[in-house]
Amino acid sequence: MAPLSFPLSSLLKLKDCAQKANIFCNVLQGLHHRPGKSYAASVCSSSSDGQDMTDRLWSVYNETKKQTEDLLPVISTNSVNPNTIFANNEMSLRDIEIYGFDYDYTLAFYSRHLHTLIFDIARDILITNLRYPEGLRNYEYIPDFAVRGLHYDVQKALLMKIDAFHYIQLGTVYRGLHPVPDEEVIAMYEGSHVPLEIMSDFYGKSSHGHTMKQFMDIFSLPEMTLLSCVNDFFMRHNIDYEPVHLYKDVKEAIRDVHVKGIMYRAVEADIEKFICYGEQSHAVLKKLSEHGKKMFLITNSPFDFVDRGMHYIVGKDWMDLFDVVIVQADKPGFFNDRRKPFRRVTDKGALLWDRIHKLEKGKIYKQGNLYEFLRLTGWRGSKVLYFGDHIYSDLADLTLKHGWRTGAIIPELRKEIKIMNTEEYMHMMAWLQALTGLIEQMQVHRDPASQAVVNEWIREREAMRSQTKDIFNGQFGSLFRTYHNPTYFSRRLSRFADIYMASISCLLNYDFQHTFFPRRTPLQHESPFWPEHSPAGISVSSQLHRTNSD
């Protein structure tokens, strides 16, 4: 069922829930936005006695907690559908005539067996080809160790999560497989801020003086884990090593797994073990074809690998669905380098030497560049929507330089939304927000008794923030947030993707007239709700001030 095709009764129920939720949100926002002195003073103005002040602060605390708990049943009804397409920028499907796709983790979704395969092969390359210690064979891939979007300090051999403002999330810095104490992190970086000049470059790479590498694609999970495991081995055995050499060696080993075709051959030999969700991708392509949409494929993978996978996902006639197929495109260079011409490839893999004057359906092309692609197809601007999983290599240049619409495929969304829909998480976040509002308001009382109470609240808040991190991933937390702030990954996602979703199958829930609207989330200086959305007759301040008259 399409997400917006609710029956009238459901809409009325949703309206009732929304009104009740607005009451709760107004409570939270009121705590944050009410001028500090006026409200805080009204709570405690009648007494200067320390014990009386403490009692009044705890009375407000208990009243706020009770209000939060009373509205938890309403909050719990506001779950998020993981099959939703989320919008960063308004976009209508009625404007889209051409759909483009990456292959890996866009049309083809892989099981965790693939990450184990990549880790094992790269680890063995280090041992066999680069004479790394044999003891590394005792390390196996750890599926839930790392998350996408982390930064790696090449010179310090530290893996960490950084927020949208370039601040390290303390508690998420790892050397090897073990966390680095916050005090040590602050000493190394003279605080927790990472200056722009040492951050990763535009594509997340550590080059031209940048000492940070950002791991943005799903294939990078085995690489991060292998880096951490080798670092762990060297530290456990007190082996002196150069972190830069280690990073480059692991990078080259992972590259060999792909470039030398080792991974491709292994997947082709046991395709059912490694590829999943095939029927959903097929359904999307079939729906687009039936509605007369043009489609193209641009992937960095070789044709034999793509052909084998698409045979499994779609069938032997899969190329009939696509107007253009480009393999080994060398993205992101494909979007910037004008020098590489297209080259025809036969279905047997032979390269042809003739000049390409047009891109024909049913034929396979290798390399090339986007400027030539635009010239030969005329597919320009916002009538084109391209889907990919790598925010930099797939989407950034298309958004910034060419005006295509972009869709990010974020498989991790399903797991994170499932967690966010749990009562435990909803309850925790509701109280965390309310408690933060209390701290913000009551911090103005500087007497020792009041400060002791507020400091106790702050300790409770810090403990809850750690819990909200660990509930997603024990080491690094959510892909999308560092406590309250968006992650650096989230910032790039919101900038370079018009829409994002857990899988391409989410398109099946929408017709081709659908318009995606981003939420108008209030800026910090704006009122939390517009007048037409505010519940009538609710006085938040009167509820919060009741303790003064009791």
What does the alpha-carbon distance between residue 353 and residue 343 come to, in Å, rounded to a whole number?
7
Instruction: Provide the annotated binding site.
Output: 102, 104, 389
**Hey, is 175 helix, strand or coil?**
strand
Could you give the CA distance from residue 56 to residue 453 in angstroms, rounded to a whole number? 10
The closest of 492, 244, 428, 203 to 336, measured between CA atoms, is 203
Closest C-alpha among 200, 84, 101, 108 to residue 398: 101
**Interatomic CA distance for residues 358 and 531, integer angstroms:** 56
| Closest-CA residue to 120 (of 139, 92, 93) | 139
Residue 260: CB partners within 8 Å, gap ≥ 6?
none
Annotated binding-site positions for GMP: 104
3-state secondary structure of 144: coil
Residue 35 CB neighbour total at 10 angstroms: 10
> Which burial class, exposed, middle or buried, applies to 134 when counting CB atoms under 10 A from its CB (0-12, 13-18, 19+)?
exposed
Please check whether residue 436 is in contact with residue 483, taking contact to mean a CB–CB distance below 8 angstroms: no
Which residues belong to the active site? 102, 104
Find the helix or strand (DSSP H, E) in which 214 lies. Answer: strand 212-214
8 A C-beta contact, residue 166 and residue 491: no
Can you give the length of the chain in residues?
Answer: 550
Rounded-to-10 torsion of CA 6, 514, 405, 304: 80
Beta-carbon-side half-sphere exposure of residue 419 (alpha carbons within 13 Å): 17
In this structure, which amino acid lies at residue 130? L
Q: What is the Cα–Cα distance from 514 to 511, expressed in whole angstroms?
A: 6
Asked if the peptide bond before residue 535 counts as cis, ω within 30 degrees of 0, the response is no
Structure tokens at 209: 């003086």
* Numbered residues of the known binding site for Mg(2+): 102, 389
The identity of residue 206, as a single letter, is S
257-280: burial string, b at 16+ Cβ within 10 Å, e else: bbeeebbbebbbeeeeebbebbeb
Euclidean distance between the first and the last CA atom of the chain, given in angstroms as a whole number: 51
Measured over all CA atoms, what is the biggest interatomic distance in the chain, rounded to whole angstroms?
91
Judged by DSSP in three states, 487 sits in: strand
